[in-house]
Structure 1
Amino acid sequence: MDGANDLTQYVRQLELFRHQDHARDQMIGEILTRYEHLQRAYQEKCDDYSNEVESRRMWQTKAGTYDREMQALSKSLKTTESNPFVFVIIDGDGAVFQDMLLKAGADGGSQAGYLLHNEIMNYVSEAYPQAASQDWSVMVQIVLNLDGLAKKLHACGIISNTAAERTLSDFGRGFGRAQPLFSFIDVGSGKESADHKIRETLRLMVRINQCKHIFFGPCHDNGYLPVLEPYKLDPKVYPRLTLIETTPAEEGFKHLNFHRISFKSVFRSEKLPDRVERPSVSSVSSVSAVASPPTAGMQPLPPPMHVPTSNGNGGALLRSNTNESQPQRVASPQSSSGGAQTPTSWSVVTKVSTGKTIDISSKKPAPKKYYLLNVESQRVDEQFPRIDPNVEKRFKERMTKSGKNLCNNFHLHGFCKNGDACPFLHGEKLSQGELTLLKQKSRGIPCNDMSGCDNADCMLGHHCRWLKNCEHSSCRFQGYHDIDTKPRVKVYEDGTTQMLAA
């Protein structure tokens, strides 16, 4: 019995141990689970910490970058605000200064610069009342074809334009000296030259922050409309751009709705006349007729102070009176029948015995050389008559036979400095038709000065012969196909001009 009790006790003890083992296993499992949760949470915290560290470092880097950018921007803004200026660009071929200013030469240029500066500053001070506009600089550029405008003004009788007196050049120098940032820029002939310079300068200035306001003077030329079209919708440019109106603006500029302003104290409000009224040919002819020597049908003048006497050879001796510059009429000897005396001509002395005459009239002066200008004061080439095909044939045969081209200097100007060493053909004198053909061929060589040439002896070309009908892609007259070839002014070699019929 004692043995059975002991076994039961052991069984109960074993069962107790099993329960304890199970409780221990549960506790250990729970501990492990909680440890796993804690470990995962710890890892998350570590990851969060690492992220925060990286994020902090990133923001610190960005903060440093932004700080440097802000400093640079601040410095840039200070620089921008430190040199503000107003820019004025004007097409001087169309915006012409007042006559009284131009006539005054250098002094007029200085006065024009002073007046224009005052007009600009008055406008700016009203347009920007909150800004210190009195400290803004004013930069002015007048872009023009100096020689072409000078010729036009001279033809209109406004200024002198001779070798000794270049009034417009003096005016430009005076204008440039009036203010340190004022410029009178000569771009030479060719409308494209001025247009390109003005267009590119304007494009540059609208992008510069220091340029607070822009004044532009194009209102006489519709060619500038495409330049201004993009700016009318640009909120950064539109308020800063003002058009200077000299002559009444073309309709296209009015539709752009830019603000327009006129400086009537500085610029002409009327266009230059296309032609200048001069004495008519009939009036000049009548005056010339009064001064001309009388013809045989006119009443004879009183007899001269000395009459001729016969010399040993039967000729007439002519004695001059006190005025040697004017030839005297010589009385003819009376006939044996006692007929009335018949006066001789003003320029002929008649021999008594033989009737032989000696011509003492002054030599007919050679016609003055000249060149032609159109209404824009651009040189145009005079049209040649149609060339006879036979002349062309002889011309080609001459060159083919010699194997050389004809020398332009020798045949057209009468002299070649190279003499016998010249590589071109001199030879015998050309006929009038051949000379005309050679002149026409020389027109195919562009003149260095193109439409601005003022040399009356120049035989080279000043624009394309075919103009807009030219089919040569590599034409040597690029940029000179839209020239108005209708001559309006004839300029003689001595500087005098003659307006031609419109």
Structure 2
Amino acid sequence: MAASLDSTLSIFRQRCAALNRYQDDHQLLLNDMMKHCEMLESTLQTQTDTLQHELFNCRLDLDDARNSRRNLQQQVQATEARIQQLIKENDAHQNRHPYAAVLIDGDGLLFREDFVNDGMEGGKRAAQALRDAVAGRCGNLPSKVEIVVKVCANLSGLATAMRNAGSISSENLFKQFTLGFTQAKASFDFIDVGFGKERADSKIREDARWHLNNVNCQMVLLGISHDSGYAPFLDELSNDRETRERLRILEGSPTVRELVTTGLEIVNFNDAVFRSDKMQVDRISSAAAAAAAAVANRMNGGGIGRKSPVHGNTTNGTTRSEETKEKPASPSSPAAKSPTTPAVTSYAAATNAAPPAAPPPAMKFPTATTKSLQAKAAAAASAAAALVEKNKPSWSPGDRGFDPPVTYNPIAIESVKKRRGPDKFCNVYVIAGSCPKDYCEYNHKLKITPDEKKALMFLMRQSPCTYGQDCTMEGCIYGHNCPSVREGQCMQPFCRFPSSLHPPKTKFKQPYFGDD
């Protein structure tokens, strides 16, 4: 029995030991779980704090974005309102003083004879008739549109040609007509451009460009239907659609083919103001023709043929100016025998030809003296030609010409190039004295030495001006011709100047980007 009790106690001891081990394992498990939970809680708390901070920043960013969007919306609304205001002001400026410009080549577009023969009163009636006719063509333009008229002509030549053709009885009558035309309206002018065909042409071209660049000009009528020489000018203007819509050709005599092909609208007042026919050249008086023939014979007295501009006056009006050869006059030629042979073949040529001068008295020299004078004249001509060649101006890049040279110190060049960030000069401020930017990233307060300023001027000359030789800014700091050409070669390997701003036949280092 004692043995049985010992066995039972041993079993209880074993079970107690097992229970103790289980309790120890349970406690250890609980401890490990608590540690893990504490560590996990710490990690989650850290992440939570991070997320809360990021959420706070996001809310700040959202509020800032919302405020920025609202400010931007307000600025956009203010800008749109300002744009609308500017559009209204621009429309008001354009419509405040609208006008139509009428530019007439008076040597070819002739007023009706009844106007001219009425002298001053006829000029006033012609001005009124022209104004009424132009106003009727203004279409939807405001009723207060002003009409500006400029007639360019060689008054003395045209008056003589019309008198010789029998259109008027005296030159003074035509002068009175032009005075009446000019006095009729404050904006009407009859301008005397003197002898020479291109004088009227150049004035009309420049005036047309000026008016077409004026926003108040609603329409430009060019009285040039008789002259094909205006065709290239009209083609140039027709490239711009807005300009083309405001341009018209005013027709008297039938428009020449070259102007018809430009496609511009042709306005004809149906004989209300201008003559539809051309002045007959065979009505030029014999006295004037004889005088012109005498001048031609004196000019060709040496038997040497020359080319003389003859203004054609064909019925289809396809040409106004041609080059024809004149044969040398001789005692047996018809031109020498007949005093009525005309040297000028049209009234336009008579209009633009200089009045004949009285012939100088004939002088006779001995043969030896004549040869000596001829030799001296030849020597003088040769010396004059050599002097002209010696003093012949060098190549010019264009109307603006060369930029003034800048002397610089190479050390100052390197000093300027090394400046970075806040130590970098504002080029425009240093050279021009003012900066156009509202906010400039460069320094305006740095002190600059004279050598550094010259170096900066030289460096800026290396950059080509956007407008090149067309630049009109007197104080432009950029280059208008390449300053790196030495003995026929451009020394700048990455030159940005176009080839037109280099002397002809300039050799370039590679690569060359100027004409990109």
1:108 aligns with 2:122: yes
Q: Given the two structures, how large is their TM-score scaled by the length of structure 2? A: 0.52
- Shift of the 102–204 alpha-carbon distance from structure 1 to 2, 3 Å rule, reads same
Query: Partners of 1:80 and 1:279 in 2: how far apart?
Result: 54
C-alpha distance in 1, partners of 2:148/2:189?
A: 8
Structure 2 counterpart of 1:274 = 281
8 Å CA contact 2:160–2:351 kept in 1: the answer is no
Classify 1:60/1:224 alpha carbon distance in 2 versus 1 (closer, same or farther; 3 Å).
same
Following superposition, the deviation at residue 390 of structure 1 comes to: 3.8
| One of 160, 177, 181 as aligned partner of 1:175 | 181
Q: Supply the AA of the counterpart residue of 1:167.
A: L
In the TM superposition, what is the alpha-carbon distance from 1:10 to its structure 2 partner?
6.6
SS in 2 for 1:87: strand
C-alpha deviation, 1:174, in angstroms = 0.8
Residue 132 of structure 1 and its aligned partner are, at CA, apart by 5.2
Q: Kindly state the Cα deviation for residue 106 of structure 1 after the two structures are TM-superposed.
A: 0.6
Distance 2:105 2:390 in 1: 31
**Alpha-carbon shift at residue 32 of structure 1 (Å):** 2.1
- 2:370 is the alignment partner of 1:392: yes
Rounded Cα–Cα distance in structure 1 between residues aligned with 2:364 and 2:263: 55
**Matched position secondary structure for 1:134:** coil
Higher relative contact order (CA 8 A, sep 6+): 1
Structure 2: state its 5+ residue gaps.
Answer: 1-12, 288-342, 382-388, 393-516
Q: TM-score, normalised by structure 1?
A: 0.53
Deviation at 1:246, TM superposition (A): 0.9
Runs of at least 5 residues in structure 1 that lack an aligned partner in the other structure? 281-371, 401-436, 445-470, 475-502
> Are the aligned partners of 1:274 and 1:375 in contact in 2 as well (CA < 8 Å)?
no
Cα distance in 2 between the residues matched to 1:196 and 1:121: 26
Contact 2:161-2:284 within 8 A present in 1 as well: no
**Helix, strand or coil at the partner of 1:140:** strand
State the alpha-carbon separation in 1 of the partners of residues 286 and 82 from structure 2. 77
CA distance in structure 2 between the partners assigned to 1:195 and 1:249 by the alignment: 16
- AA of the residue aligned to 2:273: V
Q: Does 1:142 align with 2:125?
A: no
Superimposed CA distance per residue, residues 119-170 of structure 1 (whole angstroms, 9 cap, x where no aligned partner): 112222xxx2xx35432111111111112212212222333556xxx22222
Aligned match of 2:161: 152
SS in 1 for 2:242: coil
RMSD across aligned positions (CA): 3.8
CA contact (8 A) 1:151 1:377 kept: no
Match of 1:256, SS? coil
Listed one character per residue, the Cα deviations across residues 326-345 of structure 1 (whole Å, up to 9, x for unaligned) are: xxxxxxxxxxxxxxxxxxxx
CA positional deviation for 1:250: 1.1
Q: Please say which structure displays the higher CA radius of gyration.
A: 1
Deviation per residue, 1:466-487 (Å, 9 max, x gap): xxxxx9999xxxxxxxxxxxxx
User: Once structures 1 and 2 are overlaid, which stretch shifts more, 7-16 or 109-118?
Assistant: 7-16
> Which residue number corresponds to residue 28 of structure 1?
42
Structure with greater proportional helix content: 2
C-alpha distance 387-243 of structure 1, shift in aligned 2 (>3 A): farther
Q: Counterpart of 1:87?
A: 101
Q: How does 1:271-310 map to 2 (within 5 A)?
A: 271-276=278-283
Please state how far the C-alpha of 1:110 moved relative to its aligned partner: 0.3
TM-aligned CA deviation for residue 386 of structure 1? 11
Distance in structure 2 (CA, Å) of the matches to 1:86 and 1:43: 65
Q: Which amino acid aligns with 1:258?
A: L
Task: Give, as a single letter, the amino acid of the residue that structure 2 aligns with 1:375.
Answer: A
- CA distance in 1: counterparts of 2:29 and 2:373, whole angstroms: 143
Counterpart of 1:71 in structure 2 is 85
- Whichever residue aligns with residue 237 of structure 1, its letter is T
Aligned length in residues:
306
* TM-superposition CA deviations, 1:19-67 (whole Å, max 9, x none): 2232222222222223323333333333343344444444544544444
1:378 corresponds, among 347, 353, 373, to 353
Aligned to 1:229: 235
SS state at 2:201 partner = helix
Specify whether residues 113 and 472 from structure 1 end up closer, same or farther in structure 2 by C-alpha distance, changes over 3 A only: farther
CA positional deviation for 1:194: 1.1
Matches of residues 232-381 of structure 1 in structure 2 within 5 Å? 232-263=238-269, 264-276=271-283, 375-379=350-354
> 5 Å matches for 1:404-419?
none
Matching residue of 1:39:
53
In structure 2, C-alpha distance between the alignment counterparts of 1:117 and 1:62, rounded to whole Å: 47
* Residues 396 and 237 of structure 1, relative CA distance in 2, 3 Å threshold: closer
Counterpart CA distance in 2 for 1:277 and 1:236 is: 44
- Kindly tell me: are residues 55 and 112 of structure 1, through their superposed partners in 2, closer, same or farther at Cα, counting changes over 3 Å? same
